Chains A and B, each alone.
Chain A
């Protein structure tokens, strides 16, 4: 996998644009997912993921090929997300509410049908709760929690992505975990 990526990157550096499509295909879901959990909605997730890939393409020559490409790509995407969160106005929380309403609509529809989908439904509701709680985390805890538990990256990778000492990453994960625990312990 890494070898394939390296090969494609070499082609892209030579100027072969089509080789980049495969790279996008491979990482599109994880980068989109990162954007969704960091920013809270599909629209912004798509926007930020697209921008991350375009930036990666434009700056591909500055990528050190001895490193892992995914780390570099995640760094670009995470920085874009953090920038956007910092620029966001307080109305951002309204945005998160909207995605919550979707879940509720689905809930009322499913509930009227049969008792069986109610299990699904509860989990949908839970999904929504967890999603919102992650979004409530301050950006510095949110990024480590998303990278660790949604993207399932190692602490070392997270430290490289965020350009932070390992110790700082751990502290943030511990605090993020504690904040989430307080909100989610009864769900």
Chain B
């Protein structure tokens, strides 16, 4: 190569796409007049073209799976977090159930005291509620943590929570009789009551 090293330098600048317009003019002018440099320049361009033209390799199809299988194991906690993130509905539902059950069970445990709905002709003796013979009790009777003996008549529903009820042969209940003794019954009772309350709200709204 007889030409100035400067020209080769300019070729590289051109090929690096970093040549300024002034130098590009110098290079172009020179290439027009110098066959050797033109050949050299074309060889560079051709070389780059064939290198760029090599086919693009694809990683093997199972590559990602192999990498993932080779990674150190992640912590359990994260797997749980991801599961929750991917199943938000189930997560919300189970959280709701856990909280509801918790609060209901604690209500169940707190309600150990004897109580009875207030109706004037109910008789209370040693934790036993008696509907006396010949008396008519109007409205629903609810007894908590105690027994209920029905010798008279109840015009309404009877609910005994955590206790028992005895219906004497002469006794009469116009509504439903229900005994709630276990935690699950208690929860069921609550759910039914909540549902009925909700329905009542809607009924009230319509009226």
Question: Which partner residue on chain A sits nearest B62 by CB separation?
Answer: A46
**B21 in contact (CB, < 8 A):** no
The digit string for A104-130, where 1 denotes a CB below 8 A from any CB of B, is 000000000000000000000011001
A56 to chain B, nearest CB (A): 10
Taking CB atoms, residues of chain B closer than 8 Å to A25 are 64
**B56 in contact (CB, < 8 A):** yes
Whether A185 pairs with B47 at a CB distance below 8 angstroms is yes
A18-41 with Cβ < 8 A to chain B: 18, 20-21, 24-25, 28-29, 31-33, 36-37
Question: Which partner residue on chain B sits nearest A25 by CB separation?
Answer: B64
Question: Which partner residue on chain A sits nearest B12 by CB separation?
Answer: A174
Q: A150-B51, A180-B47 are in contact. Are A20 and B58 (CB under 8 A)?
A: no
Interface size, B (range): 35 or more
Contact partner, A20, options B43, B68, B75, Cβ 8 Å: B68
B122 to chain A, nearest CB (A): 62
Interface size, A (range): 35 or more
**A61 in contact (CB, < 8 A):** no
Tell me what chain B mostly uses at the interface: helix, strand, loop, or mixed.
helix
B32-58 with Cβ < 8 A to chain A: 40, 43-44, 46-48, 50-58
Taking CB atoms, residues of chain A closer than 8 Å to B58 are 29, 32
Tell me what chain A mostly uses at the interface: helix, strand, loop, or mixed.
helix
Surface stretch bound by B, among A1-9, A47-55, A62-70: A47-55
Whether B64 pairs with A173 at a CB distance below 8 angstroms is no
A8 to chain B, nearest CB (A): 13
B72 to chain A, nearest CB (A): 7
The digit string for B70-105, where 1 denotes a CB below 8 A from any CB of A, is 111011011001100000000000000000000000
Whether A177 pairs with B44 at a CB distance below 8 angstroms is yes
Whether B44 pairs with A20 at a CB distance below 8 angstroms is no
Whether A170 pairs with B12 at a CB distance below 8 angstroms is yes
**A10 in contact (CB, < 8 A):** no
Question: Which partner residue on chain B sits nearest A18 by CB separation?
Answer: B82
Whether A58 pairs with B63 at a CB distance below 8 angstroms is no
Question: Which partner residue on chain A sits nearest B71 by CB separation?
Answer: A57
**A187 in contact (CB, < 8 A):** yes
Whether A24 pairs with B77 at a CB distance below 8 angstroms is no
Q: A33-B56, A45-B57, A174-B12 are in contact. Are A130 and B63 (CB under 8 A)?
A: no
Given A15-B77, A17-B71, 5 further pairs, Cβ under 8 A: A24-B63, A42-B57, A150-B52, A170-B16, A173-B12
Q: 7 pairs across A/B with beta carbons < 8 Å? A: A20-B68, A24-B68, A33-B57, A36-B57, A54-B70, A177-B12, A180-B51
